[in-house]
Structure 1
């Protein structure tokens, strides 16, 4: 999943990630990097989300001693809010997905869940903006340079995996990613089903360059904004306004990127629909069981009070 430096990303990284390639990834966009998975390890990841988020931010900017309390408190506030405000909405969407998964899937079905995930991402980013503004006002040129370097490293890995000069290897990498999420939801696929999915992967692979260009453009827009804040030190309210504009940028790309963005999205929706509608009754039953486990995990996380920093923030 692509990474833009913001406080919301630790809980909603997938919501601003590269466009989703299958039904499972569409659903996971509402869950975040560690929110929901049937395995206990991912549930534990959400329970330790404040530590993971701090580690991620520190990796990108090398948090200073002076910045650490501000950063940890902001993360704790975010997770306290997310647990209370967004996990119930996630549980509702998962219930809807469980009910829909046995029915024929249409593009409108996929778009519904995509729109819902984007709405959650908007709310999440909005919630994080005041604390994020405080953090941005403390960044140094060296920290911004480190952030840019990390973007470059991530882009190099992305190019190596998904933009391989060998067309066959490029297709294989995307196919493997699609099947990873498809199997997570539906279980195993027959060889005939796998061949049918592979035959439909072409439009997704063809849009890889455009998705990468959009990724880089968004990162550059972020770096331009962060450097502006560092250089001018505007009032906090103005920083929040700039963050609002950035949010609109990545959710509504400029005209020069809009056509490729729409083409990528349509290709992903078509592939998602094709995979869902080729599944057998047994695979659909597997998906329903999987969704129920995620629902149970979500409810457990809503009740969970084990995370001390989150509990302390919620009490304030």
Structure 2
């Protein structure tokens, strides 16, 4: 379920050729990722592949047109100066689409979750431990300045894929934004582990209790809701602050860009729109 969400987001951020190729390979890539996480048995593997394919077919038919409309709006918005509320409005619509995706995803994921046993859940826990070690090596090691530099390198890579080369003042602005962000590697690790535990606990309840498919769906939907709105008030406050800061930071950076940089963004978004519309065609 989480992998499908991440893949959908990546479609909005990758190069044009990658959208077509990546989306068409999404069922296979999603299954490989899930299998590496839980290590399906034979019958479980068949059910997982069918669930992924059903979700993919639904998404291509029902959701891609809405993505194309969002890209058109973003392209028009990028042509001139923007305000934080404009960016947040786009993100709110993206979030709505993700909620719709996850509503459908839990329907297909529930039978797969109900078939998991202790061996798969133990494999998942060990897999996450290994991945968490890799994450900590990347984000927690080194001095504060070294950590900030790694975050800056990642951010610049993303921004350059849209705007092209950035000038020194823009790079300095992005570095300042990161330094002032409420996100820290320590908080990131805590939030990552929280999400993992939310999902693992739900899967354990599903596997250890006699539930109907609707009850299993409710358990998975609850995980998604907790990911977005943590029960802990302090965690929730950080997430809300991060969302607002993201809108403000993107608007601030965009308003420093040159006409050429804005044209590049608009061209990229229009190309994404064309690729998605090609995928919609029967």
Pair 1:209 & 2:186 matched:
yes
Deviation per CA, 1:112-161: give whole Å up to 9, x if none. 12211211111111112122110111111111111112222222222222
Q: How many Å apart are 1:224 and its aligned residue? A: 0.8
Q: Unmatched 5+ residue regions in structure 2? A: none
One of 93, 96, 100 as aligned partner of 2:73: 96
1:225 to 195, 202, 226: 202
Partner of 1:262: 240
- Which runs of 5 or more structure 1 residues have no equivalent in the other structure? 1-5, 15-30, 306-316
State which of 107, 110, 115 in structure 2 corresponds to 1:138: 115
1:13 aligned residue (6, 13, 18)? 6
Alpha-carbon contact 2:85-2:247 (below 8 Å) kept: no
Q: How does 1:147-296 map to 2 (within 5 A)?
A: 147-204=124-181, 206-254=183-231, 255-296=233-274
Whether contact under 8 Å (1:34, 1:49) holds in the other structure is no
Question: For residues 218-257 of structure 1, what are the alpha-carbon distances to aligned partners after superposition, in whole Å with 9 as ceiling and x for unaligned?
Answer: 1111111111111113222211121222222112111241
Q: Secondary structure at the match of 1:152?
A: helix
Q: How does 1:115-130 map onto structure 2 within 5 Å?
A: 115-130=92-107
- The root-mean-square deviation of aligned C-alpha atoms, in Å, is 1.8
What CA deviation, in whole Å up to 9, does each residue of 1:161-213 have, x standing for no partner? 22234111110111111111111111111223212322322123753322332
**CA contact under 8 A between 1:36 and 1:297: conserved in structure 2?**
no
Q: Is 2:15 the counterpart of 1:38?
A: yes
Runs of 4+ in 1 over 4 A off after TM superposition: none
Count matched residues. 281
Distance in 1 (alpha carbons) for counterparts of 2:229 and 2:87:
19
Q: Following the alignment from structure 2 to structure 1, what is the Cα–Cα distance between the partners of residues 185 and 252?
A: 20
Residues 162, 170 of structure 1: 8 Å contact kept: yes
Q: Distance in 1 between matches of 2:245 and 2:188?
A: 12
Aligned pair in 2 of structure 1 residues 246, 11: CA closer, same or farther (>3 Å)? closer
Normalising by the residue count of structure 1, what TM-score does the alignment of the two structures yield?
0.83
- Give secondary structure in 1 for the equivalent of 2:180: helix
Q: Secondary structure at the match of 1:264?
A: helix
Structure with more of its chain in helix, by fraction: 2
Picking from 56, 60, 65, the partner of 2:42 is: 65
The separation in 1 between residues aligned to 2:257 and 2:88, in whole angstroms, is: 19
The structure 2 residue matched to 1:111, chosen from 78, 85, 88, is 88
